[in-house]
Chains A and B, each alone.
Chain A
Amino acid sequence: MLDHLLNGFATALQPMNLAIAFLGSIIGTVIGVLPGLGPTATIAMLLPLVFTMSPVAAMIMLTSIYYGAMYGGSTTSILVNIPGESASVITTIDGHKMAKQGRAGAALAIAAIGSFIAGTLAVMVLTIVGKPVAGLALRFGPAEFFSLMLFGLATVASLAGGRISKAIVTTVVGLMIATVGIDLVSGAPRFTFGNPFLSDGIDFIVVAMGVFALAEVVTTAREIWAGTQSGVVKADKVWLSWKEFTYSLPAILRGSFFGFLVGMLPGAGATLSTFIAYNVEKRLATNPERYGTGDIRGVANPESANNAASGASLIPLLSLGIPGGGATAVMLGALMMLDITPGPLMFEKHGALLWALIASMYVGNAILVVLNWPLVNVFARIMAVPARYLMPIVLVICTVGVWSISQSSVDLVCTAFAGLVGYYMRRHGWPVEPLVLGLILGGRMESSYRQALIISKGSHGIFLEKPISFGLLLAAVAFLVAPPILARLKRTRAIAAPVHA
């Protein structure tokens, strides 16, 4: 295996392939930074160009774009409170607060370092145990998926910071938005009002640009108007301290672990992994109350998780020939167009290509960290741009991003509406993140639920009989029930034994 990998490196390090990985990383970073443009859409747009390349070059290009987008996605989350793509939603919570406290540089730096560590760990695991681990992905049928997603939604309750009822309401609103479009299980169009542009549902970007970007722009405008805007944030120090790094390291490692685990399951994807990792982290870490107030671990953890997940999502694609998340589904299409049928025999038939691809993922991670090093400084200065100049630019970029999805004015109307709702939510203390997670998971969760019930012929027992599903349901219940109980225990213990300080 080692010589396969070394051969792969020999191919990946050829000047031409290195240049392509570099180019892909830049494109990926740029689209990751631009809100509205996600990796899936970009890879789809660039496929025709990629065609003209050799298969090795094409695959290196696509994976480096994918990786780059995962790196870049955190930038706007941190700087302007707008997630660049769905896997960076969680990063807004602590990341933007850090930026407001003048620590944008540290947040951007830890996002890059966490991504590098997680990305490299994920590729290493992929290299060593890819095939046996892939078998686990097959264990996840409809019942297991439903329970996993329910678990994901259950963890969200802790995002709300005590306002569990509000989090549940917004989650349900997200789930409701997810029902728009042609229902997979019955084939019937729902809430489309006969408009074909709604038949594929409402895209995450359409809603996210409204509830995050528009709401941010309107909020800022209001602050400027009312004269309460805090003005330009002074960055006290740009770089990250060694202490901050060691403080974040456990969060990075745990984020990588959960990111990898969830990312490997076909269809679960990077976004769910960030939600799960962040909320599990809040339970495991010391001083959990600091999360949500601009804690650096709150950036390190989800950014590690999404990069580990994007590496892991290639496992089912490469070892079983089944697509993982959104972007890997497009890559599967690309492989087919290059006359490589993804499947269990892919390593036997196209081993050289795949090992070159894996090697290029190591190289890509290194390129990205080198690329992002100087960029941290540049991006951190964006915080010094007065809001009255920055916000109109943000507005334009987001509008273009939404338009680029399917050139549909219906999408723009939906974004505007989501913006109004998002602004209202913000002003009245409703958490936005559960809505987004509900929207992202809703479709798959509903179809998994109904697929499981079709298989079991209507019996809900299927969710309890399958061990993985049962375990996940127990974990979901524990997440909802445990916090109040633990809090009470802590209180009684605190009374019984005063803290030795």
Chain B
Amino acid sequence: MIPLPSNLARRAALGAAALAVVTAATTASAAGFSPERPECIAPANPGGGWDTICRTTAAVLQKRSTLKSTMYVTNMPGGSGAVAIANVVAKRKGDGDVIVAASNSLSFTMAAGRTPHTYADVIPIAQIAAEYGGFFVRADSKLKTLADLVATLKSNPASVSFAGGSAPGSFDHVKTAVFAKAIGVDATKLVYVPFQGGGEAITALLGGHTDVASIDLAEASAQLEAGKIRCLGIVSDKRSSKHKDLPTTYEQGVKVSFPVWRGFYMAPGASPEAVKFWTETVKAMVASPEWVAERERLGWEGVNRFGVEFATYARDELQRYQALLKELGFVK
């Protein structure tokens, strides 16, 4: 790790120049890179999705003894990833020991302009899994199938209230909006009620305060299993490998798919050796049986992209989200 005063890091031109020299010097001496203090930053509190990525990764790498020392997990919550990316860009430049958990939530934070940074300011390295969200109703709901929902929305877009676990312009809302667009319904007319997390959204659904919950499959699975709620459709082209009995939107004739991916990025200025090391390490990890077992337990699908392919994917997705948010009136 390169000790760097944070005010220096902020002086862009000077800082970058100084860094290039320092980085070159350190990497030259460390030919076969191996992190001395491997660290995974989870931009959220323990227990959430980002934290799970870091802890599962740390556990699997530990089990496989890939790293010389144990990987630390640092929780850096705030602003749906905005705090962590600001911190990494400002204070961890050139630090090859650290990887940061990411998902589409970060893309939404960027698309909505809630952070001045984009994927261009960091080094995206890997996409390691994906999961899907869906539309869920109470067991006794009048809406029996996705077709019922489509018909009701078409006759009056405001007649169904959707509960989601994030603010408008974030994942749960945009998923609903994309679905509405696909069936030819004006997405701006939807009744979307934002809650603090999927748990609150499902509580509002169970209590009969909203008609549909538009949340992640993982958040709904316990209530599904208990028969308290039904799934109208998973917003995907493929069925979930853990919950194979749940219908998808594709098979019910609505061609929308909206995966939530999980992945990592690295601090800007990390040496090519460090980037290569982590890319290879993560690549080997996701192929291991230990990882597959964990991933299936979590109900995540094995969707992988690495290096340039992932960076391009993330960049394209960001552009797509920016266009979407503009269309929905969230970004001018």
User: Is there an interface contact between B46 and A47, defined as CB atoms closer than 8 Å?
Assistant: yes
User: Is there an interface contact between B202 and A454, defined as CB atoms closer than 8 Å?
Assistant: no
Select A454's contact among B80, B192, B225, beta carbons within 8 Å. B192
Whether, in the assembled complex, A140 has its beta carbon less than 8 Å from a beta carbon of chain B, the answer is: yes
Whether, in the assembled complex, A364 has its beta carbon less than 8 Å from a beta carbon of chain B, the answer is: no
In whole angstroms, how far apart are the Cα atoms of A363 and B51 in the complex?
32
Instruction: Write out the residue numbers on chain A whose beta carbons fall within 8 Å of the beta carbon of B202.
Output: 322
User: Is there an interface contact between A336 and B47, defined as CB atoms closer than 8 Å?
Assistant: yes
Instruction: Write out the residue numbers on chain B whose beta carbons fall within 8 Å of the beta carbon of A44.
Output: 45-47, 75
Instruction: Write out the residue numbers on chain A whose beta carbons fall within 8 Å of the beta carbon of B199.
Output: 322-323, 329, 332
Are A330 and B191 also in contact (CB < 8 A) when A138-B206, A141-B209, A186-B168 are? no
User: Is there an interface contact between A341 and B221, defined as CB atoms closer than 8 Å?
Assistant: yes
In whole angstroms, how far apart are the Cα atoms of A457 and B78 in the complex?
31
Interface string of B107-147 (1 = CB under 8 A from A): 00000101110000000000000000000000000000000
Are A182 and B193 also in contact (CB < 8 A) when A141-B204, A321-B222 are? no
Whether, in the assembled complex, B170 has its beta carbon less than 8 Å from a beta carbon of chain A, the answer is: yes
In the complex, what's the smallest C-beta–C-beta distance from A43 to chain B, in angstroms? 8
In the complex, what's the smallest C-beta–C-beta distance from A39 to chain B, in angstroms? 14
List residues of A (193-246) whose CB comes within 8 Å of B's CBs: 194, 196-197, 199-200
Are A189 and B114 also in contact (CB < 8 A) when A196-B79, A196-B83, A406-B77 are? yes
Are A199 and B207 also in contact (CB < 8 A) when A187-B167, A343-B223, A344-B226 are? no
Whether, in the assembled complex, B67 has its beta carbon less than 8 Å from a beta carbon of chain A, the answer is: no
Whether, in the assembled complex, B48 has its beta carbon less than 8 Å from a beta carbon of chain A, the answer is: yes
Interface string of B145-168 (1 = CB under 8 A from A): 000000000000010010000011
User: Is there an interface contact between B48 and A333, defined as CB atoms closer than 8 Å?
Assistant: yes
User: Is there an interface contact between B78 and A196, defined as CB atoms closer than 8 Å?
Assistant: yes
User: Is there an interface contact between A142 and B46, defined as CB atoms closer than 8 Å?
Assistant: no
User: Is there an interface contact between B223 and A334, defined as CB atoms closer than 8 Å?
Assistant: no
How many residues of chain B have a CB within 8 Å of chain A? 52
Are A321 and B223 also in contact (CB < 8 A) when A140-B207, A333-B47, A454-B193 are? yes
Whether, in the assembled complex, B268 has its beta carbon less than 8 Å from a beta carbon of chain A, the answer is: no
In whole angstroms, how far apart are the Cα atoms of A323 and B197 in the complex?
10
List residues of B (196-250) whose CB comes within 8 Å of A's CBs: 196-197, 199-200, 202-204, 206-210, 221-223, 225-226, 228
In the complex, what's the smallest C-beta–C-beta distance from B167 to chain A, in angstroms? 4
Whether, in the assembled complex, B262 has its beta carbon less than 8 Å from a beta carbon of chain A, the answer is: no
Nearest neighbor of B158 in chain A, beta-carbon distance: A457
User: Is there an interface contact between B225 and A345, defined as CB atoms closer than 8 Å?
Assistant: yes
List residues of A (337-355) whose CB comes within 8 Å of B's CBs: 337, 339, 341-346
Instruction: Write out the residue numbers on chain A whose beta carbons fall within 8 Å of the beta carbon of B51.
Output: 333
Instruction: Write out the residue numbers on chain B whose beta carbons fall within 8 Å of the beta carbon of A457.
Output: 158, 191
Select B194's contact among A143, A184, A200, A267, beta carbons within 8 Å. A184
In whole angstroms, how far apart are the Cα atoms of A334 and B55 in the complex?
12
Are A344 and B223 also in contact (CB < 8 A) when A184-B196, A186-B168 are? yes
B interface residues (Cβ-Cβ under 8 A, vs A): 45-48, 51-52, 55, 73, 75-80, 82-83, 86, 112, 114-116, 158, 161, 167-170, 191-197, 199-200, 202-204, 206-210, 221-223, 225-226, 228, 297, 330
Q: Which 6 A-B pairs have the closest CB atoms?
A: A333-B47, A343-B222, A141-B209, A199-B79, A187-B167, A344-B226
Contacts A194-B116, A345-B226 given; 15 further ones with Cβ under 8 A? Answer: A47-B47, A48-B46, A48-B73, A140-B207, A141-B204, A141-B208, A184-B194, A184-B196, A185-B168, A196-B79, A343-B225, A406-B78, A447-B194, A447-B196, A455-B193
